[in-house]
């Protein structure tokens, strides 16, 4: 027996959640050729048909582009810190891709080894992730090369499998998932399954072996020749999490703010002295691949990549993890 | 909510201008309970901030035995340090920390200590020298070779004079060729060469060498000739940091996050890591 739900009931539920004060985010078509995860105003905004990988990732809703850490008031030579302790509003992310949901356990490690980042943790605790298993993939998808698949439940509180004719099987993986769907579904004999994944394109272990032994290698120069260092790969990646801490000045109300950053920017590691350990784009491209396939895995036992393909899909010059890893693996 | 990014507020109690572009600053916690409970290890660092401008990372250059205040030292080179340059006594700055591993002062007990510092690298050496002098019986011979480009660029000069009065301490000051003044009484030459000329007779010493990459590079063969093992040679890595707590993703050297597993590393550790610093 399975639990199923129709698309119209699902949209109705989303509308209920919104009306009930929850923030609901999901894929929406914002321009004819652009799909983004964004906060939905109604259940009808939710894009469920077809396959177009959103150009951003769901990390936007747990680790926002800019997050105020605290405000401060300057009175003469005294300082008053102002913290925001109001509770995080409940949030549902619906129709997340499996490769987005799988990034959340990855981010959990980063924000909780030793020091706990409660900004992230509070949002994470207030968020329920409802994943939609993939019914198609495109030429940039490579989840199967990094140990995932189009029906992966990793990081999901519930997962939907399309059954056709506007019906979905609902599988709840956590209490948060059950809290959303219990009593809203119908019993059925039908069970869904995700499509077979894209063909495996590279061996991640071989990539790790290469990057840990080829720190100085012409490969990086050749590969980075066309890179313009825009950081789009990192910003649209579900797992990239590097950030900066900056002061927003008086015009912004005086606050210290955590903002997204990227290892692709030349200023990322520049020392005050002018020395930069990563002085050229090749060294920065190398860092990105090293971090994903060697540095993070050494610390946390898994790859810092879910194979979503956004780096390649959004890159203005056609680079991305898939092409680099494939080239490393197959020469 | 426990906010790991929230700084302590600290009052500036003393400012000394060390050189035309270097100042050292003493701070005390405004929160008396925090002041009572605060402790750190020499070699650890803090993230200091000027409100309205931003945060910057500096070694805590005071000794961990000094309970009433901490000190940091900076060169005016960027936006935040320009702002810190303008602070005055009684102003309030932000402090997060202490972060990082610090020097293994316990493990160094019983050993001769050699400190080699270049330029603005004196502050992270100074805290360890003071600590060793304050626990003088725990350590063997102490040698400090400290150099800068010119006489005007040397910091904590009065303290070097004070150290040289202590027992079993040899202080060697030097400036780069051309950086001397007519009345300069110290050595002339680069730190590695001056150190080599000094023929320091240390047995199985611990060496702490901090300075520009070229200084460290030229020092290593000399230490090798003296028979000092890479595991006994320490440095403090100065990779750029933002969070200081292993999250912002920029200070790594291979798998080592400098903010958490550093900044103090041995040459033996560095030999096994990519040159990403």
Å from A165 to nearest chain B CA? Answer: 45
To test the contact with chain B by mutation, choose from A256, A282, A290 the residue with the greatest count of B C-beta atoms within 10 A, namely A256
B228 in a structural domain: yes
Residue A5 β-bridge partners: A168
B105 in a structural domain: no
User: Mean pLDDT in chain A?
Assistant: 95
CB contact under 8 A, B54 and A246: yes
Q: Are residues B148 and B63 in the same domain?
A: no
Position A251 pLDDT exceeds 90 = no
Report the predicted TM-score, pTM, of the whole model to 2 decimal places.
0.95
| Per-residue CA distances from A55 to A37, A125, A141, A213 (Å) | 8, 25, 13, 33
Å from B212 to nearest chain A CA? Answer: 10
A114 vs B53, B77, B260: nearest CB? B260
| Chain A residues closer than 8 Å to B77 by CB | 272-273
At residue B213, the pLDDT reads 85
CB contact under 8 A, A69 and B6: yes
Q: Indicate the residue among B50, B65, B99 that finishes a domain.
A: B99
Q: How many domains does chain B have?
A: 2
Share of chain A above pLDDT 70, in %: 100
B3 in a structural domain: no
Check the CA dihedral A53-A56-A59-A60 and report its sign. negative
A150 in Cβ contact with A156 (< 8 Å): no
CB contact under 8 A, B255 and A299: yes
At residue A76, the pLDDT reads 87
Q: Are residues B121 and B223 in the same domain?
A: yes
Residue in A with minimal Cα distance to B5? A69
Helix (H) or strand (E) holding B83: helix B79-85
Cβ neighbours for B173, distance < 8 A, ≥ 6 positions apart: B146, B147, B154, B157, B160, B186, B187
Å from B134 to nearest chain A CA? Answer: 32
At residue A274, the pLDDT reads 87
CA atoms within a 13 Å half-sphere pointing along the CA-CB vector of A313: 22
**Rounded CA gap, A238 and B60, in Å?**
36
Question: What does the pLDDT average to over A311-316?
Answer: 97
To test the contact with chain A by mutation, choose from B249, B254, B260 the residue with the greatest count of A C-beta atoms within 10 A, namely B249
CB contact under 8 A, A83 and B6: yes
Three-state DSSP string of A62-117: CCCCEEEEEEEEEECCEEEEECCCCCCCCEEEEEECHHHHCHHHHHHHHCCCCCCC
B254 in a structural domain: no
At residue A153, the pLDDT reads 97
CB contact under 8 A, A114 and B245: yes
Give the domain range for residue B50. 8-99
Å from B133 to nearest chain A CA? Answer: 31
pLDDT digits (tens), chain B, 277 positions:
899 999 999 999 999 999 999 999 999 999 999 999 999 999 999 999 999 999 999 999 999 999 999 999 999 999 999 999 999 999 999 999 999 999 999 999 999 999 999 988 999 999 999 999 999 999 999 999 999 999 999 999 999 999 999 999 999 999 999 999 999 999 999 999 999 999 998 889 999 999 988 999 999 999 999 999 999 999 999 999 999 999 999 999 999 999 999 999 999 999 999 988 8
Residue in B with minimal Cα distance to A300? B255
B249 vs A241, A247, A258: nearest CB? A241
Q: Are residues B144 and B208 in the same domain?
A: yes
Six-digit token pair at A71? Answer: 């405000």
Q: Could you tell me how many CB contacts below 8 A there are between chain A and chain B?
A: 123
Q: What is the CA radius of gyration of chain B?
A: 18
Specify the residue for token string 């990372």.
B57
Least confident of A73-77, A123-127, B10-14: A73-77
Cβ neighbours for A183, distance < 8 A, ≥ 6 positions apart: none
Least confident of A270-274, A325-329, B24-28, B227-231: A270-274
At residue A84, the pLDDT reads 87
Å from B85 to nearest chain A CA? Answer: 15
Cβ neighbours for A140, distance < 8 A, ≥ 6 positions apart: A53, A309, A310, A312, A313, A320, A322
**Rounded CA gap, B121 and B148, in Å?**
9
CA atoms within a 13 Å half-sphere pointing along the CA-CB vector of A158: 26
Å from A170 to nearest chain B CA? Answer: 35
To test the contact with chain B by mutation, choose from A59, A67, A86, A115 the residue with the greatest count of B C-beta atoms within 10 A, namely A115
| Chain B residues closer than 8 Å to A294 by CB | 254-255
CATH number (domain holding residue B164)? 3.40.50.80
Confidence of residue A273 (pLDDT cuts 50, 70, 90): confident
CB contact under 8 A, B240 and A269: yes
| Chain B residues closer than 8 Å to A118 by CB | 1-4
Å from B232 to nearest chain A CA? Answer: 25
Q: Are residues B18 and B82 in the same domain?
A: yes
B244 in Cβ contact with B97 (< 8 Å): yes
DSSP string, B8-55: EEEEEEEEEEEETTEEEEEEEESSHHHHHH----TT-EEEEEETTTEE
Confidence of residue A49 (pLDDT cuts 50, 70, 90): confident
**Rounded CA gap, B77 and B72, in Å?**
15
CB contact under 8 A, A78 and B92: yes
A276-279 LR contacts (CB < 8 Å, sep 24+): A277/B239, A277/B253, A277/B275, A277/B276, A277/B277, A278/B276
**Rounded CA gap, A38 and A34, in Å?**
12
At residue B50, the pLDDT reads 96
Question: What does the pLDDT average to over A32-52?
Answer: 93
CB contact under 8 A, B252 and A295: yes
**Rounded CA gap, A255 and A266, in Å?**
25
Q: Are residues B28 and B130 in the same domain?
A: no
A247 vs B54, B249, B253: nearest CB? B54
B92 vs A79, A290, A291: nearest CB? A79
B249 vs A116, A242, A298: nearest CB? A242
Q: Indicate the residue among B55, B74, B99 that finishes a domain.
A: B99
**Residue A162: φ, ψ to 5°:** -65, 135
Å from A247 to nearest chain B CA? Answer: 5
**Rounded CA gap, A236 and B223, in Å?**
48
At residue B228, the pLDDT reads 97
Domain borders along chain A are 2-330
CB contact under 8 A, B55 and A69: no
B191 in a structural domain: yes
- Angle between helix A321-330 and A281-290 (nearest 10): 80
Q: Are residues B117 and B81 in the same domain?
A: no
Check the CA dihedral B104-B106-B107-B109 and report its sign. positive
Position A314 pLDDT exceeds 90 = yes
Question: What does the pLDDT average to over A169-185?
Answer: 98
**Rounded CA gap, A309 and A288, in Å?**
14
CB contact under 8 A, A299 and B5: no
Q: Indicate the residue among B77, B99, B121 that finishes a domain.
A: B99
CA atoms within a 13 Å half-sphere pointing along the CA-CB vector of B223: 27
**Rounded CA gap, B63 and B57, in Å?**
18
CB contact under 8 A, A83 and B81: no
**Rounded CA gap, A188 and A185, in Å?**
9
B151 in Cβ contact with B167 (< 8 Å): no
């Amino acid at each position: 027996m399975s639990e199923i739900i129709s698309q119209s009931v699902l949209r109705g539920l989303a509308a209920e959640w919104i009306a009930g004060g929850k923030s609901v985010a999901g894929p929406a078509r914002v321009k004819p050729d652009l799909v983004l995860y964004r906060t939905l105003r109604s259940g009808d905004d939710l894009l469920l048909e077809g396959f177009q990988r959103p150009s951003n990732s769901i990390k936007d809703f747990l680790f926002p582009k800019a997050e105020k850490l605290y405000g401060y008031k300057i009175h003469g030579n005294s300082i008053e810190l102002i913290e925001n302790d109001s509770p995080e509003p409940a949030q549902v992310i619906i129709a997340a891709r499996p490769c987005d949901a799988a990034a959340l356990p990855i981010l959990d490690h980063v924000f909780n080894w030793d020091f706990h980042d409660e900004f992230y943790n509070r949002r994470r605790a207030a968020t329920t992730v409802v994943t939609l298993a993939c019914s198609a993939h495109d030429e940039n998808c490579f989840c199967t090369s990094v140990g995932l698949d189009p029906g992966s439940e990793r990081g999901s509180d519930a997962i939907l499998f399309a059954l056709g004719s506007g019906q979905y099987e609902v599988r709840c993986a956590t209490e948060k998932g059950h809290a959303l769907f219990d009593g809203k579904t119908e019993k059925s004999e039908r069970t869904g399954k995700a499509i077979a994944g894209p063909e495996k394109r590279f061996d991640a272990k071989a990539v790790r072996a290469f990057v840990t032994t080829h720190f100085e290698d012409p490969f990086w120069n050749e590969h980075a020749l066309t890179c313009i260092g825009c950081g789009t790969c990192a910003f649209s990646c579900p797992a990239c999490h590097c950030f900066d801490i900056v002061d927003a000045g008086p015009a912004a109300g005086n606050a210290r703010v955590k903002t997204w950053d990227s290892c692709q920017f030349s200023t990322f590691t520049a020392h005050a002295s002018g020395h930069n350990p990563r002085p050229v784009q090749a060294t920065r491209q190398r860092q990105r691949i090293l971090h994903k396939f060697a540095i993070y895995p050494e610390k946390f036992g898994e790859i810092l990549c879910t194979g979503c393909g956004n780096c390649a899909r959004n890159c203005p010059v056609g680079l991305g993890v898939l092409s680099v890893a494939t080239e490393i693996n197959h020469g | 909510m426990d906010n790991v990014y929230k700084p302590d507020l600290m009052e500036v109690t003393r400012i000394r201008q060390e050189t035309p572009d270097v100042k050292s600053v003493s701070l005390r916690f405004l929160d008396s309970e925090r002041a009572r409970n605060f402790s750190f290890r020499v070699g650890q660092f803090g993230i200091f901030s000027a409100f309205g401008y931003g945060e910057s990372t500096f070694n805590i250059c005071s000794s961990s035995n000094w309970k009433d205040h901490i000190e940091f030292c900076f060169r005016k080179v960027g936006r935040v340090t320009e702002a810190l340059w303008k602070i005055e006594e009684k102003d309030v700055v932000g402090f997060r920390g202490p972060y990082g591993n610090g020097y293994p002062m316990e493990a160094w007990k019983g050993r001769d200590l050699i400190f080699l510092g270049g330029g603005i690298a004196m502050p992270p050496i100074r805290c360890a020298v003071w600590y060793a002098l304050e626990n003088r019986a725990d350590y063997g011979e102490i040698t400090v070779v400290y150099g800068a480009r010119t006489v005007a660029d040397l910091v904590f000069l009065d303290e070097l004079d004070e150290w040289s009065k202590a027992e079993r301490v040899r202080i060697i000051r030097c400036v780069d060729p051309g950086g001397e003044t007519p009345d300069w009484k110290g050595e002339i030459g680069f730190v590695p060469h001056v150190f080599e000329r000094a023929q320091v007779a240390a047995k199985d010493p611990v060496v702490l060498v901090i300075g520009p990459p070229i200084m460290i590079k030229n020092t290593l063969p000399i230490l090798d000739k003296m028979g000092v093992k890479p595991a006994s040679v320490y440095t403090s890595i100065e990779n750029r940091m933002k969070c200081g707590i292993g999250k912002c993703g920029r200070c790594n050297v291979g798998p080592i996050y400098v903010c958490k597993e550093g900044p103090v590393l041995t040459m033996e550790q560095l030999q096994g890591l990519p040159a990403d610093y």
